Amino acid sequence: MRRRAAWGVGLALAIGAGAGGVWALWGTDNPKYPGKRWSWKAPEKAGFSEEKLAAFSAKVGGDGCLVHGGEMIHAWGEIDQRRNVASSIKPIYAFLTYKAIETGRLGSLDDRVVNWVPELDDLNAAAEYKDREITFRHLLEQTSGYGLEEEPGESFAYNDYATGLLVWALFYRVYDRLPKEYDEILNGELLGAALGFEDEPTAISFRVPRGRIRISVRDMARFALLYLRGGTWRGQRFLREDLFREALREPLPDHFPRTSGEEAEHLDQVASIGGGKDEKHHAGSLGHFWWHNDRTPDGSWLLPDASPGTFLGVGYGGRSAMVAIPELDLVAVWHDAHLRSGEEWSPFSDVGRFKVNEMLRDLWAARTAAAR
């Protein structure tokens, strides 16, 4: 049995409890949320040493913040600056897919993408037009086979061309926004306006592919807190319960096959979100863009020194991350961690996870008391 099985059962019970969300697991009777600005409390009140947290952030570098019980307890660098945080923010794409279902724009995750991107209809004739069968679920699970020889659902590929297809289909077709209007989705009532994003994340920068999100670490912390709270915000359900269960569903099994890497046709007009078609293994730990602390194919845990309920979004091999730790009521966000070290972090599944594990071990070591 997977170590996080008990966590999964508890999560389901917490979701079913309604507004309490994940907090029902950890006994938080009066959860706090950020308002127009984050409220602050001393690290000691959260069970952390201020001195040790200062040492932690000095070692990590870059930008970052820690949120305990819905309040900021520590920050470093420029937490208000929008950064290119790469794949760490991909869970937002999944969230907006779920909201498209909740608002009736999509019927379900099993809707075929070709209904929104008819250009797929004529792709890969030699492979019997296999891309006609790609669904939104395939894109979130990264099993679409897009731009590769495999059929949809046949193999896994950490495929930024497929994520580019998801963004194109979602922003441009499902939400019916021109590329110059993408920020209306991020900062509108479905997400940013409701969570109170302070720094207006953008998906229209000319320095990175359109649709790739630039966001501040303090706004990333709001998004991660939403998931730590079971998809609720200020006592109201923010994401429908069944869709939230999809968001944190069990990852792909550790034995699920990886793509051969043999390429096939892809649409010229749909750009990669930044990387290639076969960047890393799922390591038995990747769900809908969230990594979970699960067993990897070699039998080890993804994050051996982290708590079993930990889940995270990562970019640049883990140098950018938003981490939710339910056992500590904690959200940790960082960008450009250890950038000056010159060390290689990518791919996350083989290299970066050990470096992130070390960071989380240092963070746990900064505690002075049991989480409360």
Does residue 349 fall inside a structural domain? Answer: yes
Query: 């070390």: which residue's tokens?
Result: 358
Does residue 86 fall inside a structural domain? Answer: yes
Does residue 222 fall inside a structural domain? Answer: yes
Exposed (0-12), middle (13-18) or buried (19+): which is 256, by Cβ within 10 Å? Answer: middle
pLDDT at 164: 97
- Number of Cβ within 10 Å of residue 1's Cβ equals 5
- Contact present, 217 and 63 (Cβ < 8 Å): yes
Q: Encode 40-56: b = buried (16+ Cβ within 10 Å), e = exposed.
A: eeebeebbbbeebbeeb
Does residue 31 fall inside a structural domain? Answer: yes
Number of domains in the chain: 1
**CA distance linking residue 113 with residue 164, whole number of Å:** 13
Does residue 205 fall inside a structural domain? Answer: yes
- Across the chain, which distance is largest between two alpha carbons, in Å? 63
Does residue 372 fall inside a structural domain? Answer: no
**CA distance linking residue 191 with residue 194, whole number of Å:** 6
CATH number of residue 279's parent domain? 3.40.710.10
Instruction: Please identify every stretch of the chain with a pLDDT value under 70, giving residue numbers as ranges.
Output: 1-29, 370-372
**CA distance linking residue 79 with residue 333, whole number of Å:** 10
pLDDT at 31: 87
Exposed (0-12), middle (13-18) or buried (19+): which is 35, by Cβ within 10 Å? Answer: exposed
pLDDT at 174: 98
295 secondary structure, DSSP code: B
310 secondary structure, DSSP code: -
Question: Which residue pairs from 246-249 have beta carbons closer than 8 angstroms and sit at least 24 positions apart in sequence?
Answer: 246/98, 246/109, 246/288, 247/91, 247/94, 247/95, 247/98, 247/287, 247/288, 247/290, 248/11, 248/287, 248/290, 248/292, 248/311, 249/287, 249/288
The token pair that represents 184 in the structure block: 């209306």
- Please compute Rg for the chain using Cα positions: 20
Q: How confident is the model over 85-121, as pLDDT tens digits?
A: 999 999 999 999 999 999 999 999 999 999 999 999 9
pLDDT at 4: 45
Q: E strands within 143-223?
A: 214-215
Give the domain extent around 127: 5-365
Helix (H, G, I), strand (E, B) or coil at 47: coil
- Contact present, 333 and 65 (Cβ < 8 Å): yes
pTM for this prediction: 0.92
Q: E strands within 125-166?
A: none
Q: Encode 274-288: b = buried (16+ Cβ within 10 Å), e = exposed.
A: bbebbbbbbbbbbbb
Query: What's the sign of the alpha-carbon dihedral 188, 189, 191, 196?
Result: positive
Backbone region of residue 28 per phi and psi (left: phi > 0; alpha: psi in -120 to 50; beta: other values): beta
pLDDT at 29: 61
Does residue 109 fall inside a structural domain? Answer: yes
Counted residue by residue, the chain has a size of 372
In the chain, the N- to C-terminal Cα span, in Å, equals 28
Query: What's the sign of the alpha-carbon dihedral 114, 93, 282, 256?
Result: negative
pLDDT at 15: 37
Does residue 327 fall inside a structural domain? Answer: yes
